[in-house]
Structures are given as structure tokens and as C-alpha cells.
Structure 1
Amino acid sequence: MPTDSPARWSAIILAAGQGTRMKSKRPKVLHEIAGHALVCWVVQAALDAGASRCLVVVGHGRDDVERVLSTRFGERVEMVLQAEQRGTGDAVRSAIEADASLEGRVLVLYGDCPLIPAALLRSLVEKSDRAGADLGLVTATLSDPRGYGRIVRDATGRVHRIVEDRDCSAAERSIDEVNPGLYAIRAGFLRESIARLTPDNAQAQIYLTDVVALAAERGEVLDLEGDMTELTGVNDQRDLALASATRRRRMAEELARGGVQIANLDSLYVDAECEIEPGASLGANVHLRGRCLVRAGARIDVGCVLTNVAVDKDAHVLPYTVATDSSIGEGAQVGPFSHLRPDTRLGPRSKVGNFSETKKTTLGEGSKVNHLSYVGNGEIGERVNIGAGTIFCNYDGEQKHTTVLEDGVFIGSDTQLVAPVTVARGAYVASGTTVTEDVPADALAISRTKQENKEGYAARLRARLRRKKKR
């Protein structure tokens, strides 16, 4: 009987296939879009739609798929093994047989459809319940329906059955209404009908689509029209790239509507776990990967690639900076063409300039590493100036050592600091110095050789070289 509100319902997600058209060793459902595996997008959509349970049918690459899902969702997902891939109907049978307690309505969907909106899933379940239908499904219309099962309707316009592409007659092949593969099925009916399925088709597989005809025999099949741009599955690398572009564009538009300044909606790459506050600015071809945090007022300029980086308010990351597992303080400036390697911590209003590299280093408030320097394993205080071409010699061939520069230190250009070494507060290191011992507070360290000028030597040298050249 029809009901006014849906009871608790479960989702079965089919993720056992190999995906040979991907031409990859990785299971198809583990290929990623915006930092999440395809199957994770589908599971999240089902949970967001209100699924009380989520069963994922695994097979090819089982261990890897289970590890990814368990890491992300924990106990919110349950794994079911399809030991032998014998079709979609057999996959659902594996889930049904693994859990006799499934009741209410069961939503069945594929694990390679990363753009499915939760609202559509919720609507399908609710409308199927209100209609009291044994089975509800989503249909869509395509100008080129090749590869998809066709929706065959009876004379009254009701869904009668689904015919897979390989099994279509000439007349059926001309039908442009297709089956995207989304079903909301009453659990009791699903058990009964699954038991009746046989592999009597061109592929000798057990088709879940045959359940539709069985439901039509008993009563009306509820159908809900969907948008194929949201329902398309990923079958090869081209599909993956197209789905990724669609997802990126949606995320960029959502950020822009929320107050983030986006230079180019089509060239922004932001992973799903990143957080960008209103008032931040993102340039063209910016990549934010993993779990980045960009505070209000921060500017990430063209071509930057940040992975697990926190950028505080009013900081400016100049073009083509690469940073990983680091933090950039309030009002700090980085780049252009800088490289912040893991465990770099830049304090407020600090600066790392062009072609400089840092690693496992803390840079205090107002301190500067302006040009062409390597700063690794450093503890740098406030208001420190590190001149161009400075090198922290932190590795002795066996282990890394720390260089400490206390507040107010000035390091001249072309300096080498051989760790472990400490330059105390207010000290000055002359340009061209190699520092191998600690420098006391307010002292001057200088180790270069004394300059000697030989009058007229350059002219005599040039004359001698010319004579050699003429020989």
C-alpha cells in the first residue's frame, strides 16, 4: 500500500568489477576525482540521501577497496564479497544472501557513478514508497544511447522491461530512453525476484535489469526522469577525465557563490577535503590537494600546487609555488617559484622568496629567506634576514642536523651554515662565510680569505692568453 513517508532504507553499491577499459592495475572504483575514490563519492551520496545501512559489494581488488572504504567511512559501510563476477544480478544476490535482515526498501546503484546527487536518490526512495511500488527506477534520454540498456514501455506508456544493448532488436536499438542503473526495490520482492533470474542472454550473465520485467508483471513500476550528465558511469580514462572536469567545475562554482574569488572556474583543482573561506582568492591553474585550509584574505596566485597546507589570513602565495604538509602564517609571503617541503612553518609576516627551498624549518615572525637559498632543519627566530644563496648544510651523509638562528640574526649572501650550529641573538655573519662553529650573541662571524689586489695583473694576463691563442 502507498505510504506517506519512507521507512528506514538500505543501499547496495556494486563495486566488484575490474574495469578493464581503464587499462590500469588499480580497481576502477578506486580511481580518484578531487581526492576521493569513485566509490567513495557514491557511498557518500547514499549516506547523505539518508541510507541507514550501506552494503558495498566487492570483488576485484577486494583488499584495496575495503581498505579505502574502511578508512573513510569506518563502520558506516559493510563489505560483501562477490567471489565470481557473474553479472549485476549475481552481485545483488551476494548482498541479499549475506544479510537476511535487510528489510524495507533497498536502493541499488553502481560504484562508478561519482556525480549522482543525493537529492535524486532521496526522491527515488520517497516516491517509490509513496506509490507503494515494488520497484522504482531512474530513466534518462540520450541522443546516442549505444552501450546502455533501453527502457521498453507498453502501449499505456508504463515501463515494461529493460533490454540490454547487446540483446536489443533493431527496433529496440532505436529507443533513446535508457537505464542509468538506479533502482529502489522493496526488499521482500528483491529476494523473490533475484531467485528467479537466469543467465539467458548474450553475455551469459545474471542481469539485475530482468527484475524490472518481473515487477511490471505484478504492478506498476515507478519511473523518475534523471539528467544523464549526473548519472553517467566511468568506464575508461576519458570518462574519468570528463567526470572530473564536471565535478571540479561544480566545486569551483560553489566556492564562488560562497564568496571565494575564482580567477578561472574551469582551471581550478580543489580536492573535496579542502576548506577555503569566503574572501580568499584563487588564481588560474591553482591545485589544492589533500586537506588544505585557506583563510579569508589569503591569495593563492597562478599555478601554485599546495598539498595539506594551511594558509592563514592575508598571506600571499605568489605564482608557481609548490608546498606540502606546511603552514603559511598571517600576512606571510611565499614565492614566486618557491618550494616548501614537509614540516615548514612560516610565522606571521615572514617571507620565502623566489627559487628558495625549505624543509622541516620554522621561520619566525618577520623573518626572510629572500632568494636562491636552501633552508633545511632550521629553527629561525624573529626578524632574521637570510641573504641570497645561503645554504643550510644539514646532512652529514648519515643523519640530519639542526641550524638555529636566534632573533635578529643577519646572514650575509653566499653563506654556508654547517649543522649542528647556532648563531645567537643579534649576531652578524658576513657574506661568503662558512660557519662551522657557534656564533656568540652580537658577534661578527667571517671566514673568507683576505682580499688582495694585484695592480696591472689583468692586463698582463689578457696579453699572455692572446699570445697563446695565436699559436
Structure 2
Amino acid sequence: MAHAVVILAAGLGTRMKSKLPKVLHPLLGKPLVGYCIDTAFASGAEKVVVVIGHGAERVRQTFEGYPNLHFVVQEQQLGTAHALAQAQPVLAGFQGPIVVTQGDTPLTRVETLTGLVAAMQAEGAGMALLTMRLDDPTGYGRILRDEQGQILGNVEQKDATLEQQAIREINPGVYCFDPTLWEKLKRVGNQNAAGEYYLPDLIRIYREAGQKVASVESKDTGELLGVNSRAQLAEVERVLLQRLRADWMNRGVRMIQPETIYLEPGVELAPDVTLWPGVILRGQTRLGEGVEVGAYSVLTDTVVEAGGKIKSHTVCDEAYVSSGADAGPFARLRPKAYLEEGAHVGNFVELKNARLGKRAKAGHLAYLGDAEVGEESNIGAGVITANYDGQRKHKTTIGKRVFVGSNSVLIAPVTLADGSFIAGGSGINQDVPEDALAIARERQRNIEGYMKRKRGEGS
């Protein structure tokens, strides 16, 4: 039977010292609670309910459009049992198991959720909970068992005796309940040091109803690492990065000094990709077979086809680099920059909404914006397309096998036809016909003896 998942994500997150709701803090470019939501759906959940509080509307807007995802608001922070009760209107008629997880534990594995459902059903239990053994259990609720090893209950740190505080088996807050949950939630009281309604009280309530309480022990103490501070966020991000790097290296990606490489979950890498130290790969970046990315390059939502090359210190944003094309070092490809096969962009060249045809070259110190450059054309050093008149953008069209001399300004809108030649230092504001030479500069004059006269040395 399909299960539902409730994610408790209403905490204030005051230790984050941020105006951003805790569960929206980015982890590898993705909101913290997004990992929990994705894990819930990956476990086969039919419905996922997120209990939100601080910044509720902002959280809701972030995940708009997810099918079978529901949000409920906990207006007052009265404890975990009170938070779960807010999900009842969405799940009141649901007859399957209900899994409960925390919204600040993004490392929780799919197998943990499915394992709890399986354990509860296999043992005919009314509820199941995850447990874990820690060398230092400080801060967690301790699991109490009888002589037969059956779970009797849970005691919170602040309510525990010294003897109970010595127990190393803890309750990290991941549960599975049968559909009688909602009736039993009404019996949870707040007679404790914090005056809150605690979910672990359901252990006692289920046992009093004559139902068994099953448990599953997690051997991965890292998977329930919670995020309550910036330092913990960084620690979780470190673990996620380690997982990602290891996964890609297992699939044939070469990483030189892998500990220096940052990449996000949406990135796709083919075998024999080589990443040099300090590379940052963000968003939906996709690198084809044999692509090499030089040190300290940053690629966001960029595609590099098989055999393409990005040299060091190059920044690409929503760019496309075809097979055999290369960019850098120190190049910048802005959105809609497109390099066709064999095109070359060198150092300190910037492209924006510009397409370089096959084997076209812009070797150094150029700006090409709102431009189309035909195959085998050559863009000299210092060339710029003046594409903006202060109000609108205009296009520059450069044909095939065009030579644009150094330090020329192409004032858009303008077209340079196939085979034309632009003399260096020209300011071009009129179309240039096919195979024509265009010179747009002051004719040079040499005035003999000028400087001597200026210094008063001549007669």
C-alpha cells in the first residue's frame, strides 16, 4: 500500500542569523527542504505534506507546481506533535502508512523511509521509528527499552535522569504510523519541562492501545545530520559534495584535486570529462565526453559538447560550446553565447547573445554582443560591437570569411557581407558589401619638424 510523508519544517531557525527561512537556505544551489521533498517522492510517497511556519508564503511559492505536494501552516510553535496534527486535514481519509521526517535533515536516504514502512508492516506494528547509536547523544531524546528489547518510550534530554542520559541509543525523529495516528495524537499532553507536545509520546500511547512499536537502527550516523546553524549547513554541504564527486568519479570523470571542485545535483557529466582544481559547475550544466574544464572556471547552465574545451579562469553562463570549440583562458560567455564546431574564443573576450560560426575566431580583447559571426571569420584584438544606443539593442551580422582588423568598432545595426575586410582602427556604421575593403578612419598625415618647432628649436 502506498504511503504518505509529512515533513516538519516550521522551525524558526534563529541560529542561522538570517532573514531567509531556514528550510530555504541553499545547499548546492537547491533549497534545504527540497532534498527532503525529493527524497519523500523518491520513496514512492503518494502524497507529501510539508508543515511550514516562519516564512510560510515564501516556502510555498518556492515549490509551486509540484504535483501531490501540500503545505499546511503551524501558526504557533507548540511542539512536534502539534506540528504533525496540522497535516490531518490533508491526510484525514488516507488509509496507508504515514511517514514523518524533519525538514532540516537533507541527507536522509530513500531506503530509510521505505525501510520504516516495511518494518512496520512486516511486524504488524502500529508505529515504527528510526533509532541511532551515538558516542555523544547530547541533545537527543533517549530510547527506553524493556528487558526483552521492546521499546517502552522516549525521554527528552531535559527530562532525562543521569542514568537515562547515559543511554547512547537516540531518537532522531523519523517515524512511520498507521492511520489511527490522528486519534492517538489527541492524547499527547504537554506535561514536560518545555511545555510542548512531543511526538515521541506516541510510543507510550500506541503501547497502551496494545499495539507493537517497531524500530529500525540506522548505521549511517551522518544521514540525519540536522541543520540549525551556518556551520552545520556547511558540514551537510561537504557531505553532499563528497557523495556527488564520488558518484561522478565512479562513472569515469577525472577530477584533479576533487576536494576543490564544486558541483550541483543538476549537473551532468560524461565519461572522460576532466575537471582541473577549483572548477565550479552550477545549475543544469552538461559536459560531453572528453570535455576538459581548466582550473578556476565557473560554468552555470552551460552545455559543452564532446571534445569541447574550456580553459582556465573562464566564466560561462547559459552558453553553448560545440564539439571542437574552445574558450579561454579568461573568457566570458554570457547568456546565449553559442560557439559552433571548431570556433575559438581567447583571453579577455566577452560574448553575449552572440553566435560564432564554424572555425570562427575571436582571439583576444574583444566584445561581441547581439552578433552573428559567420564561419572562418576572424575578429581582431580590441574589436567591439556597439550594440546599445541607450534605449535599444541592435544586431551586428558578420558573414563568412570576414576579417575584422584590430581596434575596430562595429556600430549596430550593421552587416559585413561574406569575404569583406575591415581595416584596423575603423569605426563602421554602414553595411560593407561582399569582398569589399572598408576603411573608416582619418587619413594619416606626417607634419615634418612639428615637435622641434613646438620646443622652439627650429627657425
Instruction: Report the TM range for the smaller structure's normalisation.
Output: over 0.9
> Partners of 1:258 and 1:232 in 2: how far apart?
27
- The reply to whether residue 32 of structure 1 matches residue 32 of structure 2 is no
The answer to whether the Cα contact below 8 Å between 1:180 and 1:228 also exists between their aligned partners in 2 is no
SS at match of 1:371: strand
% identical equivalent positions: 38
1:348 aligns with 2:345: no
The unaligned stretches of length 5 or more in structure 2 are none
Partner of residue 438 from structure 1, selected from 428, 431, 439: 431
CA deviation after TM superposition for structure 1 residue 457, in Å: 6.0
Of Structure 1 and Structure 2, which has the larger fraction of its residues in helix?
1
Report the CA distance shift for 1:430/1:337 in structure 2 as closer, same or farther (over 3 A). Answer: same
SS at match of 2:442: coil
Q: Which runs of 5+ in 1 are unaligned?
A: 1-6, 465-471
Q: Provide the TM-score with structure 2 as the length reference.
A: 0.95
Q: 2:105 aligned with 1:113, yes or no? A: yes
2 CA distance for matches of 1:50 and 1:403? 52
The Cα offsets for residues 89-108 of structure 1, whole Å up to 9 and x where unpaired, read as 01111112443112221110
**Residues paired across the two proteins, number:** 455
Q: What secondary structure sits across from 2:302 in the alignment? A: strand
Are 2:373 and 1:376 equivalent residues in the alignment? no
Query: Which whole-Å deviations, capped at 9, do the CAs of 1:149-185 have from their partners, x for residues lacking one?
Result: 1222223333221122222222222222221111111
Q: Deviations over 1:50-78 (max 9, x none)?
A: 2222111122222221222224xx22312
Pairing 1:64–2:74 present: no
Kindly state the Cα deviation for residue 449 of structure 1 after the two structures are TM-superposed.
2.5
Residue matched to 2:169: 177
Deviates more, 1:349-358 or 1:140-149: 140-149
Provide Cα deviations, 1:328-348, integer angstroms capped at 9, x if missing partner.
111111011111111111111
Kept after mapping to 1: 8 A contact 2:262/2:280: yes
SS of the residue corresponding to residue 80 of structure 1 reads: strand
Deviation at 1:461, TM superposition (A): 7.2
- Mapped to 1, the partners of 2:204 and 2:326 lie a distance apart of 64
Structure 1 stretch displaced more, 452-461 or 121-130: 452-461
Asked if the contact 2:370–2:394 (Cα under 8 Å) also holds between the matched residues in 1, the reply is yes
Equivalent runs, 1:3-402 vs 2, <5 Å: 7-71=1-65, 74-188=66-180, 190-217=181-208, 218-226=210-218, 227-402=220-395
Give how far 1:454 is off: 5.0
CA RMSD between the two structures: 1.8
Task: Name the CA distance, whole Å, in 2 between partners of 1:138 and 1:12.
Answer: 15
Determine helix, strand or coil for the equivalent of 1:375.
Answer: strand
1:220, CA displacement in angstroms?
Answer: 3.9
Q: Deviations over 1:329-369 (max 9, x none)?
A: 11111011111111111111101111111111111111111
CA distance in 1, matches of 2:420, 2:90: 72
Q: Secondary structure at the match of 1:147?
A: coil
Q: CA 1:364–1:85 in structure 2 vs 1: closer, same or farther (change >3 Å)?
A: same
Q: Within 2, Cα distance between the matches of 1:164 and 1:265?
A: 41
Question: Which amino acid in 1 is paired with 2:204?
Answer: A
Residues 1:365 and 1:204: Cα distance change in structure 2 (over 3 Å): same
Q: Which amino acid aligns with 2:119?
A: K
Deviates more, 1:237-246 or 1:27-36: 27-36
State the AA in 2 paired with 1:341. R
Contact 1:96/1:102 (CA < 8 Å) preserved in 2? no
CA positional deviation for 1:15: 1.5
SS at match of 1:247: helix
Q: Which amino acid aligns with 1:171?
A: E
CA distance in 2, matches of 1:341, 1:47: 35
